[in-house]
């Protein structure tokens, strides 16, 4: 195994390592299929900062005593407390002062620091990773070894996080999002340049590209460590003021959120109204002598204010743009997070408008996707908001990125009828009037529409919501009917997708329409799943170009490959599935009606 320290490593060429990626597909020397170590300053960020905080707390508590020991002339009035220190029993610090054991205590502290530094260094030496043409592997642990592997064909996204301290040092944390709970593989930390190059290599390999894709950029000249650190700190301080630098060869954001709109969107919320009601209740209660309200609600108000400010800061410098490997979403002021969601990784999209945002015409877009994190992880929410606040035009631009296969006509229908409907010429199947009492406010808006490859669910009046479900990502569809629903001839529809903030649920749907929808979704989901190739989103073009005959282009032959992004000639198997599904339904209907099938009659 060859291990080298990152980032002070000369770019390599083809190494001939088994499973190594093709050298034409990778730009970073860390993507050569061999084992590498993380940045040498990784122990400082992972454990050193915690140690510095502990030392700071100790020094703050022992400030007076340390001044008396090392700088007694700066605090002449402190001698009166020395007698109390020496008379105290059971305090090790007082025992050291009383017995003049300063040298021995200093040696003990130095020994502890040496042990901690040795542990950090050994942990860094044993923490290695490698990138092959099939997966990303990480090995860690000293006594108990752990090895994690993320298959490239199951990558749900690659996140690049730059905390403030790491950002000043020119370092970043790379997280490969896997398909499962606690399935992410983290590379923390790499230099920012290497992290961006490694992220591009992982996405390029995960896309299925197998043709030579060379990069015209030359390897940077190695510079001294001190000069590199000085340049990095200066550049990142400038970046905190002017904003992070834009990634090379990537388009600008299609949506720009003004700071005033972002702040106003947080003020115009139901939680803010609840906060105002709590403040008024506290004022009235304290004026009437009920002082316990002050101690009970003030900490909650302070906590909400901190959460409110953190949400605004985290949404600053929001940007969303298309890339060859998916949708790039960037946000954050001090801690910058950049995530790339490859095609086909979005399982559900929800467009929501609270009633307080309606005069301003603002909407928010959230998605369900596999984040590779546990449900208890509070940082999951920041990876499920595709648009914090935007206009209808912003929503249409974001939907164009999240659902590129949706035709322009259907996308216009989503905005006109799905978001603002119902209106004249409404094509949604809505709740029947006989069931108005189940949804008395929203029964006119409550409805669904099935297109060629997506299922639309529209509901709500106080909170207008539109759910967009790609059939290729749909897990199942369920119909639920209670006794009151049965009496009204309606049923409830729930689509099952991966866990997230989007809840694809629709109540009070006509029973016969729901049964027809159930059959249509079953056929559509099978058809779209057969035609879906987004797990290797670039493999079709490369394969078509590799086998293209002379005088033809890859685009001419790409239409023969089943794809959501172009024509498909996979009708025969789909037709077979549809005929099989129709036959199964006929047999089920005969069984329920008591009519014998062909086999029974034979």
199-215 average pLDDT score: 68
The confidence band for 92, taking pLDDT boundaries of 50, 70 and 90, is: low
Is 523 a residue whose pLDDT tops 90? yes
Number of C-beta neighbours around residue 75 at 10 A: 13
Q: Which residues contact 558 (CB under 8 A, 6 or more apart)?
A: 540, 541, 544, 566
Q: What are 265-286's pLDDT values in tens digits?
A: 988 888 888 888 888 888 888 7
Closest CA to 175 of 377, 372, 376, 25: 372
pLDDT digits (tens, 9 = 90+) for 312-350: 888 888 889 988 888 889 888 888 888 888 888 899 999
> Secondary structure of 293-360 in the HEC alphabet?
HHHHHHHHHHHHHHHHHHHHHHHCCCEEEEECCEEEEEECCCCEEEEEECCCCCCEEEEEEEHHHCCC
Q: Residues 153-162: pLDDT tens digits?
A: 888 888 888 8
23-45 residue pLDDT tens: 777 778 888 888 999 888 888 78
Q: Quick: pLDDT tens for 456-507.
A: 999 998 899 999 999 999 999 999 999 999 999 999 999 999 888 999 999 9
The per-residue pLDDT for 97 is 66
- 248 or 187, which is more confident: 187
Q: Would you tell me how many other CB atoms lie within 10 Å of the CB of residue 123? A: 16
> At what angle are helices 63-70 and 79-87 packed, to 10 degrees?
110
Q: How many residues does the chain have?
A: 602
Q: What are the backbone dihedrals phi and psi of residue 160, each rounded to the nearest 5 degrees, phi first?
A: -120, 110
Percentage of residues of the chain with pLDDT beyond 90: 22
pLDDT, averaged across the chain? 75
Tell me the pLDDT band of 540, cut-offs 50, 70 and 90.
low
229-267 per-position pLDDT tens digit: 555 555 544 454 444 444 444 568 889 999 999 989 988
The pLDDT value given to residue 576: 34
Determine the Cα–Cα distance for residues 68 and 449; give it in Å rounded to an integer. Answer: 78
pLDDT of residue 80: 53
Is pLDDT above 70 for 130?
A: yes
The domain ranges of the chain are: 46-124, 261-315, 343-531
Q: Does the pLDDT of residue 68 top 80, yes or no?
A: no
Q: Tell whether the model's pLDDT for residue 1 goes beyond 60.
A: no
- What's the rounded mean pLDDT across residues 120-143? 88
Which of these ranges, 201-205, 209-213, 367-371, has the smallest mean pLDDT? 209-213
């Amino acid at each position: 195994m060859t291990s080298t320290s990152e980032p002070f490593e000369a770019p390599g060429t083809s190494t001939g390592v088994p499973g190594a990626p093709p050298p034409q597909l990778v730009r970073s020397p860390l993507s050569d299929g061999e084992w590498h170590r993380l940045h040498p300053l990784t122990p400082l960020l992972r454990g050193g900062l915690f140690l510095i905080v502990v030392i700071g707390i100790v020094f703050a508590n022992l400030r007076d005593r340390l001044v008396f020991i090392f700088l007694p002339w700066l605090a002449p009035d402190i001698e009166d407390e020395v007698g109390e220190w020496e008379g105290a029993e059971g305090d090790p610090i007082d025992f050291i002062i009383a017995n003049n054991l300063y040298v021995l205590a200093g040696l003990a502290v130095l020994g502890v620091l040496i042990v901690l530094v040795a542990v950090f260094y050994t942990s860094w030496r044993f923490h290695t990773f490698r990138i092959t043409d099939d997966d990303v592997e990480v090995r860690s642990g000293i006594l108990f070894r752990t090895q994690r592997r993320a298959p490239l064909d199951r990558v749900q996204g690659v996140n690049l996080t730059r905390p403030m301290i790491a950002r000043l040092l020119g370092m970043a944390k790379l997280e490969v999002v896997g398909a499962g709970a606690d399935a992410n593989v983290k590379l923390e930390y790499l230099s920012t340049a290497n992290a961006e190059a490694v992220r591009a290599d992982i996405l390029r390999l995960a896309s299925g590209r197998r043709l030579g894709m060379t990069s015209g950029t030359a390897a940077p000249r190695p510079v001294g460590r001190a000069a590199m650190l000085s340049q990095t700190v200066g550049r990142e301080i400038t970046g905190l003021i002017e904003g992070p630098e834009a990634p090379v060869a990537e388009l600008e954001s299609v949506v720009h959120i003004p700071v005033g709109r972002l702040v106003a969107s947080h003020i115009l919320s139901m939680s803010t109204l609840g906060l105002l009601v709590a403040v008024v209740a506290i004022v009235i209660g304290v004026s009437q002598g009920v002082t316990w309200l002050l101690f009970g609600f003030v900490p909650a108000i302070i906590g909400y204010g901190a959460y409110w400010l953190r949400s605004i800061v985290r949404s600053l410098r929001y940007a969303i743009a298309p890339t060859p490997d998916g949708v790039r979403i960037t946000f954050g002021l001090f801690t910058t997070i950049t995530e790339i969601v490859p095609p086909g990784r979005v399982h559900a999209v929800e467009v929501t408008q609270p009633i307080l945002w309606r005069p301003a015409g603002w909407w928010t877009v959230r998605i369900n996707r596999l984040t590779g994190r546990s449900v208890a992880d509070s940082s999951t929410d920041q990876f499920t908001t595709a648009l914090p606040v935007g206009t209808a035009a912003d929503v249409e631009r974001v939907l164009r990125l999240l659902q590129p296969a949706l035709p322009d006509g259907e996308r216009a229908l989503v905005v006109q009828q799905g978001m603002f409907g119902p209106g004249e010429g409404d094509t949604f199947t809505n709740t029947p009037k006989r069931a108005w009492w189940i949804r008395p406010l929203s029964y006119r808006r409550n409805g669904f529409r099935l297109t060629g490859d997506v299922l639309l669910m529209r509901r709500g009046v106080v909170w207008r919501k539109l759910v967009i479900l790609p059939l290729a990502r749909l897990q199942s569809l369920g119909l639920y009917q209670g006794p009151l629903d049965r009496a009204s001839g309606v049923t409830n529809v729930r689509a099952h997708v991966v866990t997230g903030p989007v809840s694809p649920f629709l109540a009070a749907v006509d029973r016969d329409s729901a049964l027809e929808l159930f059959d249509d979704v079953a056929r559509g989901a099978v058809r779209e799943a057969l035609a879906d190739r987004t797990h290797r989103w670039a493999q079709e073009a490369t394969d078509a170009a590799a086998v293209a005959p002379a005088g033809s282009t890859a685009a001419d032959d790409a239409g023969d490959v089943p794809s959501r992004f172009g024509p498909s000639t996979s009708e025969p198997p789909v037709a077979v599935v549809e005929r099989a599904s129709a036959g199964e339904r006929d047999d089920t209907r005969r069984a329920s009606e008591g009519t014998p099938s062909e086999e029974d009659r034979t």
